Amino acid sequence: MNENQKILVIGSSNTDMTVKTQTLPRPGETLIGGEFKMGAGGKGANQAVAARRLGGDVTFVCKVGRDLFGDNSIKGYEREGLDTSRILRSDKPSGVALIMVDAKGENCISVASGANSDITEADIDSVSDLIREASLLVLQLEMPTPCVLKAAKLAFESGVKVLLNPAPACALPDEIFRYIFLMTPNQTESEFFTGVPVHDEESAAKAAEVLRGRGVKDVIMTMGSKGSMAFTEEGAFFTPARKVQAVDTTAAGDTFCGALAVAIVEGKSLKEAAGFATAASALTVQKMGAQESLPYRNEVK
Ligand code: RIB
């Protein structure tokens, strides 16, 4: 077992406003939806809370506004048992995500980044001590890219593993790929970063080869309701998804990453980690909402 099991998540914090609809509206269309829910979200926050609920020792760094949403988010993270002592404040409003979820549980998300977009390279410098002390740094792409690069580089140079969930996909500097220990793109993101459309095992392997050729050590590609394909130094393997009735797939990928993080710092193999993460995300999709739907360790068992 690893002695240092500290997980540091640096990323976004949002308040999610979700409407359940039968189908997702087309451009210009108004639909009468169903239930409305407001809850805690943001890919960074979801991954931090998921890792914490699954037993991780997690510090979360994000930037929220000096407003009610920001205050409520921090209170929520404290209740979850995250170390929130280094959360930053911005004069911009806290991040908000508008989400629509259809009858099959598929979603459409639009994010007003607000304070998330105000994270600076100086902010990353100010938490360099946390980066150096971590066992694993977890990053996503809901904060400015230069900050993601800076954090990944600092971690890599300090011998700290970096898990990058490249969501939402955006252009990344070539340099970043060699700092990544584990990258977890979904099919769309895989195509975005490699130009290889991913629809089966063979195309997934091709896309992973491109990423690994650019310097990423290991890749676990999530393939929605099919499961995930891993291309790692341990070998290539497929982990089938559990067959469940999806109500809302929001935060399924975040749960997957949070669970992977916990399993990795506990010294589990990536194969075991993928199995654990698959079980955890199968629980998330059966409930509405982002953080409300994240499972606890005893439920995953
Ligand atoms: O991955 C789901 C998350 O994406 C939501 O919680 C929303 O806030 C957006 O960041």
Q: Based on the number of CB atoms within 10 Å of its own CB, is 86 exposed (0-12), middle (13-18) or buried (19 or more)?
A: middle
Q: Is 281 in the pocket of ligand 1 (CB under 6 A)?
A: no
**Atom 8 of ligand 1, nearest CA residue:** 42
CA of 99 to the centre of ligand 1 (A): 8
158 Cβ neighbours under 8 A, 6+ residues apart: 131, 132
Gap from CA of 209 to ligand 1 centroid (Å): 28
Q: Whose CA is nearest to atom 6 of ligand 1?
A: 41
Handedness of CA 162, 163, 168, 170 (dihedral sign): positive
Q: Which residues contact 87 (CB under 8 A, 6 or more apart)?
A: 13, 60, 61, 62, 63, 64, 74, 77
Which candidate, 94, 96, 98, places its Cα nearest to that of 108? 98
Report CA(41)–ligand 1 centroid distance (Å): 5
Between the alpha carbon of residue 110 and those of residues 73, 92, 117, the distances in Å are 19, 18, 14
> Ligand 1 pocket, 44 CB below 6 A?
no
Residue 244: how many other CB atoms lie within 10 Å: 14
Q: Write out the chain's pLDDT in tens, 301 residues.
A: 568 899 999 999 999 999 999 999 999 999 999 999 999 999 999 999 999 999 999 999 999 999 999 999 999 999 999 999 999 999 999 999 999 999 999 999 999 999 999 999 999 999 999 999 999 999 999 999 999 999 999 999 999 999 999 999 999 999 999 999 999 999 999 999 999 999 999 999 999 999 999 999 999 999 999 999 999 998 999 999 999 999 999 999 999 999 999 999 999 999 999 999 999 999 999 999 999 999 999 999 8
pTM: 0.97
Tell me whether residue 16 is one of the annotated catalytic residues: no
